[in-house]
Structure 1
Amino acid sequence: MYGQQPIIVLSQNTKRESGRKVQLENISAGKTIADVIRTCLGPQAMLKMLMDPMGGIVMTNDGNAILREITVQHPSAKTMIEIARTQDEEVGDGTTSVIVLAGEMLAVAEPFLIQNIHPTVIIREYRQALEDAIKLLQDKISVPIDLNDRDKLKEVIRSCVGTKYIGRWADLAVDIALDAVNTVTVNENGRIEVDIKKSPVYSMV
C-alpha cells in the first residue's frame, strides 16, 4: 500500500551502523589502501611482488595494477580502488598519486570530525581549497611553453620519466617520447591535437 515503508530483505549477518564511529572507520579503511601503495610513489619507489591467478609472480610499482589484485570488503576501501580505476581510464597515469592524495585528505579531515564538525562543512572547504589551488596554478605558477623549444619540452618530460623505473635511461626515453608525440601530432586550422589510437594488443594489457 502507498505510504508504507518498503520491505528490504537482508542477510542475517548484515549489520547497520551510523554516526561518528562509522565515519572514522571509513577514514581508516581509506588510509589503509593509501598506505598499501604509498611506497610505490616517487623516484625511490619500491616494487610490489604480486601473484597472479595463474600462480605467476609479477613485480610492479603501478598503483592501479596493485589495487586490481587486492580483494577488499569494506565499502570505503572499494571506493578508493574505484578512484584509481577512474583515474587510469580518464588520464592513463597518476593512479598512485591520486590514491595517496585521497588518503592524505581523509587523514586531514579526521581531526575535524573528532571536533564534531559536520562532514558537509569539511567538504565545502575542500571544494574552496580546490578552487583556490586552480586559480593559483593558473595565475601565478603556470609557465607558458614554446612548443618549438625542444629543450624546454624535454625538461617537462624528464620530470615525468624520472619517477619511472626507466629513469636511468631518462635522456633516451625523453627523446623517444618527444619524437613519438611529434609524429602523431595533428595541426588543423590552428588546433593542435595528438592523434593517439590504442591498438587491440595495448587495450588487452
Structure 2
Amino acid sequence: MLLDPMGGIVLTNDGHAILREIEVAHPAAKSMIELSRTQDEEVGDGTTTVIILAGEILAQALPQLERNIHPVQIIAAFKRALADALNIIEEISLPVNINDDKAMYSLISSSIGTKFVSRWSELMCNLALKAVRTVSHDVGGGKKEVDIKRYARVEKIPGGEIEDSKVLDGVMLNKDITHPKMRRRIENPRIILLDCPLEYKKGESQTNIEISKEEDWNRILQIEEEQVKHMCDSILALKPDLVITEKGVSDLAQHFLVKSNVTALRRVRKTDNSRIARATGATIVNRVDDIQESDIGTHCGLFQISKIGDEYFTFITHCKYPKACTILLRGPSKDILNEIERNLQDAMAVARNV
C-alpha cells in the first residue's frame, strides 16, 4: 500500500506501479526504473523479474570491475551470454495454436497467478482473450495489429461483484442524452459521428455590429437560427437515428432533432468517438455539409442508455464486426478496481504478444 504525493492510495503488487511512485536521485536506480517502464510497455508483464535479473547482473559485474577488467569487455561477455540464452530459449520453445482456448488460458493464467485477481483466474483469462481477439485487425502479409491501448478501453464502475465484469462487443460511454424526450433505446440505429458543434458558429476574428433598428436585431437572431437549421437539415436528410458529436449541441438544434425523433450525444471524448467509428463502421465528419451515405455507421445492433448506480451510461453494442471493445469492470471499491485493471492490462499484453 503506497501513499502518493497527492494523498491518494495505491494498492498493488505490480512492480512497475510501485516503482513509478518512487522518487529516486541515483542515476543507476533511475535507469532501473526506466527498464521496468520499457518492459511494461513492450511486454506488459515481468516488470519485477526484469529488475531482479538486472540487479543480479550488476552485482556479478562489480567483482570484475574490481579486478580492473574494462567495462567494454564485461559488456561483450554479457552479450555472448545473451546470445546463448536466446539460443536455449529457441530450442526449448513450443509452438502455440492461438485458436486453442485451453493453451491460451494456461499461458495467460501464468501471468496473473501471482496477482490479486488469481482467484478469478478463469474470468480474467476469458476477458483478456476476448478483448484481444475483438480488437485484432489483419493488416495484410499475415500480420495482425492489436492496439489494446487505443481500442480496448477499461471502464471501472464501483459496485456489484467482480464476477459481473464482462467484455462488451461495442462501446460504453459515461454519457446521457442531451434532451429528455429523445429515445433511450434504438435497435439497429443509423449513426452519424461529428467533430463539429451543432450551434451557431462565431467568426475567427472578433467583430462588432452596430444595430440601429429593431428589425436588424431580429434579423441577426434569424440568421443564427437559419444557420443551425441548415446544419440540422443537412443531417436529417440522411435519416439518422443517433448523432454523436465531440462538441456542443445548442438548444435549438436539440429542438429540431427531437422533432425528427433523432437522439443526440454531445461532448464525447475524441478517443471514444474513434472507437465508436471503428465498432460501427461510421466515419467521423468535420463539416456537416460533407456528410455522405457512406459515412453512416450501420453495424451497431443496439443503442441503449442504462442507469448503473447513480449515473447514466450509454451502450452501443451488438456490433457486427466490432474492432473495438469496452471491458466493464465491477468491484467493491475504486482501489481494488484500479488493481484489477492493472492485472488485466498485464493479461491482455501477454495475449497480444502471443
Bucket of the pairwise TM-score, normalised by the shorter protein: 0.5 to 0.7
| Superposition deviation, residue 126 in structure 1 | 0.5
Matched residues, number: 155
2:107 match? 156
- TM-score (structure 2 length as normaliser): 0.40
Secondary structure of 2:39's counterpart equals helix
Secondary structure of 2:116's counterpart equals coil
Match of 2:144 among 193, 201, 205: 193
Match of 1:174 among 102, 125, 136: 125
1:1-205 residue pairs with structure 2 within 5 A? 49-138=1-90, 140-187=91-138, 189=140, 191-199=142-150
Distance 1:189-1:199 versus aligned 2 partners, 3 A rule: closer
Secondary structure of 1:120's counterpart equals helix
C-alpha contact (below 8 Å) 1:63/1:96 kept by paired residues: yes
2:38 aligned partner, one-letter code: T
2:52 aligned partner, one-letter code: V
Q: What value does the CA root-mean-square deviation take over the aligned residues?
A: 2.5
Return the alpha-carbon distance in structure 2 between the equivalents of residues 101 and 177 of structure 1.
27
Secondary structure of 2:144's counterpart equals strand
Distance 1:146-1:56 versus aligned 2 partners, 3 A rule: closer
| Superposition deviation, residue 197 in structure 1 | 4.5
Return the alpha-carbon distance in structure 2 between the equivalents of residues 94 and 55 of structure 1.
28
Return the alpha-carbon distance in structure 1 between the equivalents of residues 61 and 100 of structure 2.
43
Distance 1:93-1:77 versus aligned 2 partners, 3 A rule: same
Distance 1:148-1:197 versus aligned 2 partners, 3 A rule: closer
C-alpha contact (below 8 Å) 1:185/1:192 kept by paired residues: no
Return the alpha-carbon distance in structure 1 between the equivalents of residues 108 and 148 of structure 2.
21
Return the alpha-carbon distance in structure 2 between the equivalents of residues 96 and 120 of structure 1.
27
Distance 1:128-1:166 versus aligned 2 partners, 3 A rule: same
Higher share of residues assigned helix? 1
Structure 1 residue ranges, 4+ long, deviating more than 6 angstroms after superposition? 200-203
C-alpha contact (below 8 Å) 1:67/1:81 kept by paired residues: yes
| Runs of at least 5 residues in structure 2 that lack an aligned partner in the other structure | 155-270, 272-341, 343-354
Higher share of residues assigned strand? 2
1:62-104 CA deviation, whole Å, 9 max, x = no partner?
2222222222222211221222222233333332222111101
2:68 aligned partner, one-letter code: N
C-alpha contact (below 8 Å) 2:136/2:146 kept by paired residues: yes
| Runs of at least 5 residues in structure 1 that lack an aligned partner in the other structure | 1-48
Return the alpha-carbon distance in structure 2 between the equivalents of residues 177 and 194 of structure 1.
16
- TM-score (structure 1 length as normaliser): 0.66
Return the alpha-carbon distance in structure 2 between the equivalents of residues 184 and 80 of structure 1.
32
1:92 aligned partner, one-letter code: G
Return the alpha-carbon distance in structure 2 between the equivalents of residues 185 and 71 of structure 1.
37
Return the alpha-carbon distance in structure 2 between the equivalents of residues 158 and 88 of structure 1.
17
Secondary structure of 2:11's counterpart equals strand
